[in-house]
């Protein structure tokens, strides 16, 4: 950061927390100021401001969340990290809504706190007016390319409306993200957003899924069920993969859209709902209409506003931005320092065609974070399926090949358990045990070999019960 040390302010009534943070941050070359109370903090804020503020949530006088509200209301813009004992969900949510940058549960790892401060300083203040904004729920949508700017403009233009929108684009281009953003920026934001992937549900169940059913409507219907349309009342219903809907359901959907009412399966009473429909498909619907696979009248009803999400290869200028974001995110999940791309590796990835678009890029970032052996990702670390030359160093490629076979197998077993949930702890355990063995049990040395702080290693050893 242009040579000036970062100014970090800490407000906490607990002297030991102030001391620990003060020491850790000063050690990292940052300039710290500590305050015992919110009052002291506000005094100081009249003359100066920090790059990042760390605040306890519970303090005598004004509590951290209140202080946070006041800081944002006063128009100060700097990132704030809230610390509190116990990962208490309500205060975390309140912190995010109040505009806090991050939330650090106590007891915290000093290395983790330092990494968080650095990241907060890099990213800068969160845009917030202090009012309730469920911003955190929607992942950031990134893009500087003109085609993405057009998408953002359309979302902005529609912000006060409830018009039906059809989103088209290749797989993984962010259609669902756009749908969520439309909802979050609409007058319906406080009401439900219900997403339904019509292809994920067996055709014979889809009707009851959408419209619900009455008890006894069919064999197995032993109680009444509320369908997605009713759940979404007042809010938004996102119908994904609309192009694959059966002709019978297309007809029913058209009727609901035209009349605003429907019957539950087996029901006699019409149900009225107020639902905004957003539909998405990666098919060419106009083509499907021509081929007679999709009803033309339904197409026109859905296609009131059309948003097209561009394929990644048509907005290559955004690739470095996206890689940077998702490499950081993967590093945060793995609790390691983010890996950087060498200029050559970056050029190679920018030139790659990304048939799976942003989704493929997100996965690639996770994978490269795990497989690249050093702090930098070099061209030889890029696997062949991401356009890398296949002559990867034998050890790593053999290993990642086996890992990918394992993942394939696990997916086919279909236990539904997320891959990373199984693989990450295993991955950490293997590396920790190897490093400890290599360091003959010296934790400090093992931590250095792993690239972690000693506290992180100690915590991991406890977590994985390796002690």
Query: Are the CB atoms for 64 and 99 separated by under 8 Å?
Result: no
CB atoms under 10 Å from CB of 158, counted, come to 17
| Nearest distance, CB of residue 315 and ligand ATP, angstroms | 9
Exposure on the CB side of residue 27, measured as CA atoms within 13 A: 11
Instruction: Identify which of residues 171 and 396 has a Cβ nearer to ligand ATP in the complex.
Output: 171
Dihedral angle computed from the Cα positions of residues 346, 351, 354 and 359, in that order, rounded to the nearest 10 degrees: 30
Q: Tokens at residue 176, please?
A: 């669902």
| Nearest distance, CB of residue 413 and ligand ATP, angstroms | 22
| Nearest distance, CB of residue 416 and ligand ATP, angstroms | 18
Instruction: Identify which of residues 176 and 381 has a Cβ nearer to Mg ion in the complex.
Output: 176
- Residue 246 contact partner, candidates Mg ion, ligand ATP, none, CB within 5 to 8 A by sort of partner: none
| Nearest distance, CB of residue 8 and ligand ATP, angstroms | 29
Burial class (CB in 10 A: 0-12, 13-18, 19+), 268: exposed
- Residue 143 contact partner, candidates Mg ion, ligand ATP, none, CB within 5 to 8 A by sort of partner: ligand ATP
Instruction: Identify which of residues 143 and 212 has a Cβ nearer to ligand ATP in the complex.
Output: 143
- Residue 139 contact partner, candidates Mg ion, ligand ATP, none, CB within 5 to 8 A by sort of partner: ligand ATP
Instruction: Identify which of residues 133 and 176 has a Cβ nearer to Mg ion in the complex.
Output: 176
Using the rule CB under 5 A, give the single segment among 18-26, 82-90, 176-184, 449-457 that binds Mg ion.
176-184
Instruction: Identify which of residues 171 and 433 has a Cβ nearer to Mg ion in the complex.
Output: 171
- Backbone phi, then psi, for 342, in 5-degree steps? -70, 155
| Nearest distance, CB of residue 80 and ligand ATP, angstroms | 24
Helices 443-450 and 454-463: angle between axes, nearest 10 degrees: 100
| Nearest distance, CB of residue 58 and ligand ATP, angstroms | 34
Instruction: Please tell me whether residue 170 binds Mg ion under the rule CB under 5 A.
Output: no
| Nearest distance, CB of residue 176 and Mg ion, angstroms | 4
Q: In the bound complex, which residue of the shown chain has the CB atom lying closest to ligand ATP?
A: 174
Which residue among 51, 102, 133, 176 contacts Mg ion (CB under 5 A)? Answer: 176
* Contacts with ligand ATP, residue ranges (CB under 6 A): 139-143, 169, 171-177, 282, 322, 358-359, 362
Site for Mg ion in 213-272 (CB under 5 A): none
Site for Mg ion in 345-374 (CB under 5 A): none
Dihedral angle computed from the Cα positions of residues 200, 204, 205 and 206, in that order, rounded to the nearest 10 degrees: 60
Question: How many residues of this chain interact with Mg ion, rule: CB under 5 A?
Answer: 1
Residue in this structure with the two tokens 């401060």, named with its chain if needed: 117
Q: Give the Cα separation of 453 and 434 in Å (integer).
A: 17
Rg (CA), the chain: 26
Write 83-92 long-range contacts (CB < 8 A, 24+): 83/12, 83/17, 83/54, 83/55, 83/56, 83/57, 83/108, 83/113, 84/56, 84/57, 84/58, 85/58, 91/57, 91/65
Residues at the interface with Mg ion (CB under 5 A):
176
């Amino acid at each position: 950061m242009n040579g000036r040390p970062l100014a970090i302010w800490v407000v906490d009534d607990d002297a030991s927390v102030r001391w620990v943070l003060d020491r850790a941050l000063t050690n990292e070359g940052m300039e710290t100021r500590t305050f015992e109370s919110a009052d002291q903090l506000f005094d100081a804020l009249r003359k100066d401001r920090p790059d990042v503020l760390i605040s306890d949530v519970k303090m005598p006088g004004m509590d951290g969340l209140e202080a946070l509200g006041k800081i944002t209301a006063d128009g100060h813009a700097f990132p704030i990290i809230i610390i509190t004992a116990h990962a208490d969900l309500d205060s975390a949510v309140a912190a995010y809504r109040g505009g806090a940058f991050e939330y650090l549960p106590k007891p915290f790892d000093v290395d983790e706190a330092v990494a968080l401060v650095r990241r907060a300083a890099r990213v800068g203040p969160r845009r917030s007016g202090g009012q309730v904004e469920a911003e955190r729920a929607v992942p950031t949508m990134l893009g500087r390319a003109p085609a993405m700017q057009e998408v953002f403009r359309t979302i902005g233009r529609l912000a006060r409306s409830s018009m039906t929108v059809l989103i088209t684009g290749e797989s993984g281009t962010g259609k669902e993200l756009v749908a969520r953003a439309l909802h979050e920026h609409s007058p319906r934001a406080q009401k439900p957003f219900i997403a339904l992937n019509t292809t994920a549900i067996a055709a014979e169940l889809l009707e009851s899924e959408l419209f619900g059913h009455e008890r006894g409507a069919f064999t197995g219907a032993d109680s009444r069920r509320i369908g997605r349309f009713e759940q979404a009342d007042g809010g938004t219903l996102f119908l994904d993969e609309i192009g694959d809907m059966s002709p019978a359901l297309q007809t029913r959907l058209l009727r609901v859209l035209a009349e605003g009412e429907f019957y539950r399966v087996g029901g006699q009473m019409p149900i009225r709902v107020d639902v905004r429909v957003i539909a998405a498909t990666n098919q060419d619907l106009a083509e499907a209409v021509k081929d007679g696979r999709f009803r033309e009248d339904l197409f026109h009803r859905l296609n009131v506003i059309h948003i097209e999400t561009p394929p990644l290869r048509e907005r290559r200028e955004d690739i470095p931005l996206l890689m940077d974001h998702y490499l950081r995110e993967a590093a945060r999940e793995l609790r390691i320092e983010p890996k950087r791309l060498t200029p050559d590796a970056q050029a190679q990835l920018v030139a790659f065609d990304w048939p799976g678009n942003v989704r493929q890029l997100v996965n690639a970032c996770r994978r490269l974070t795990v497989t690249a052996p050093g702090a930098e990702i070099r061209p030889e670390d890029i696997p062949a399926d991401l356009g890398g030359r296949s002559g990867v160093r034998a050890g790593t490629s053999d290993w990642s090949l086996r890992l990918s076979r394992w993942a394939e197998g696990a997916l086919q077993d279909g236990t539904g358990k997320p891959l990373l949930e199984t693989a990450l702890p295993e991955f950490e355990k293997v590396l920790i045990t190897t490093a400890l063995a290599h360091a003959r049990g010296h934790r400090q040395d093992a931590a250095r070999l792993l690239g972690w702080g000693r506290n992180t290693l100690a915590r991991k050893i406890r977590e994985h019960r390796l002690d």
